[in-house]
Structure 1
């Protein structure tokens, strides 16, 4: 990326406690910080709320030779915001119509885009919440939004389905990563990116094979991942 002046964006989405932050840490821990940035945006300011929705995300896009890892992204408006009542119905519908064009524009500007959805089961999510509540090193991760999401599982699932149906495109597909097993999820997400990109001295044997049981394309027709289907049975 740095040698050839490429621009790389990887976004990490998923339910609360799906392991987004930890996965990003494993991606970046051995990268040169001059060329790799993490964008974890806080709640929008009053000024940002009055801007074009994508504007504050555009400000964090990479320049030539940079990689940016989004810990949550513009897809907040596809799932979290409508479920939690942080946006209006009109704002949500406008976003869903605009986002495919927005991402095509990113691609036309030479940005390489990966969209990861980290999929965690309901049982594992609850276990991680309990762990956060007890662990003094992880208590800061447990937010009011996290706790409120426990009773909104089905509503989250509905909006995830809609998001996949509308935004899992040929140009910018969603890649689902089953993240109940954190180590396997992280390794296979890294393998997927390395396998997808051309670079000097690439060694497929060292990268290893991506496990199709852990990493797979989102189902564009139904929007449901396999694990979500199993949970509903």
Structure 2
């Protein structure tokens, strides 16, 4: 049975902000957690576990940066990041969950969903990209769909990154003024400022219908990115029943004597210009 989110639609109140972790402490703890993620990855591979992690939240809430830290040292053949574009005309005629099913993990795989089927509960509802009937059907079907995934053995973790209106706007302004981050900003992102309360109500309604004992939501307070990343990764590691896996001992073999093969002169190959040398000239 779904649980109430316990919040009031449209509210902008925030829990008391925790103290920011010093950078040196953050980097040390992040590296430790990433080491555990590598060990968890080996357990997933050996046991044939299928793990799906959903990252949802407001625009600029820090989902992408956290996904980068989760996947930084993982094998891309085992851990895949899925960020689907807008559906095609053909996909619009399919069962709503159908295009997400293609990206679910096989045995020994991890899938990180940078946004997910919950687009329908958020942006599609607020921006009018789906009909009221489609939205209501989604709300009815989602707990059933997720129960089927879990019943089939998939480990499903759902994280909502929560950020205040002021911090969101600050991050938008930072992106707008930074050429390296401008690609992260779209007109639809900016429109979320004027629709803050609509998105708040959509999020609260989503939690009320889809936060279940079988498939719960976990809220990540993301006002501070360092804290959010550490808290989310620590929770993921603590919620998955992984165990360290003993890896086979490897040794580097002795290089054998050459057999007399003569390689062609380096000059016959096309080499990239030595740009690095120009920096120290």
Query: TM-score, structure 1 length as denominator?
Result: 0.85
Shift of 1:34: 1.0
Greater RCO, 1 or 2 (C-alpha within 8 Å, sep 6+): 2
Match of 1:136 among 179, 195, 198: 179
Match of 1:166 among 199, 205, 209: 209
Counterpart residue number, 1:25: 68
Q: How many residues matched?
A: 202
Counterpart residue number, 1:116: 159
Counterpart residue number, 1:46: 89
Distance 1:201 1:86 in 2: 45
**Structure 1 SS opposite 2:155:** strand
2:231 equivalent to 1:188: yes
Shift of 1:79: 1.1
How big is each residue's C-alpha offset from its partner over 1:167-189, in whole Å with a ceiling of 9 and x where there is no partner?
00000000000011101100110
2:110 equivalent to 1:64: no
**Structure 2 SS opposite 1:176:** strand
Match of 2:136 among 55, 74, 93: 93
Distance 1:59 1:144 in 2: 29
Shift of 1:108: 1.0
2:79 equivalent to 1:79: no
Distance 2:122 2:137 in 1: 14
Distance 1:154 1:200 in 2: 43
Query: Larger radius of gyration, structure 1 or 2?
Result: 2
Distance 1:27 1:141 in 2: 19
**Structure 1 SS opposite 2:45:** coil
CA RMSD of aligned residues (A): 0.9
**Structure 1 SS opposite 2:53:** strand
**Structure 1 SS opposite 2:202:** helix
2:95 equivalent to 1:37: no
Gaps of 5+ in 2: 1-43, 246-281
Shift of 1:199: 2.1
Counterpart residue number, 1:226: none
**Structure 1 SS opposite 2:47:** coil
Query: TM-score, structure 2 length as denominator?
Result: 0.71
Match of 1:5 among 48, 51, 71: 48
**Structure 2 SS opposite 1:175:** strand
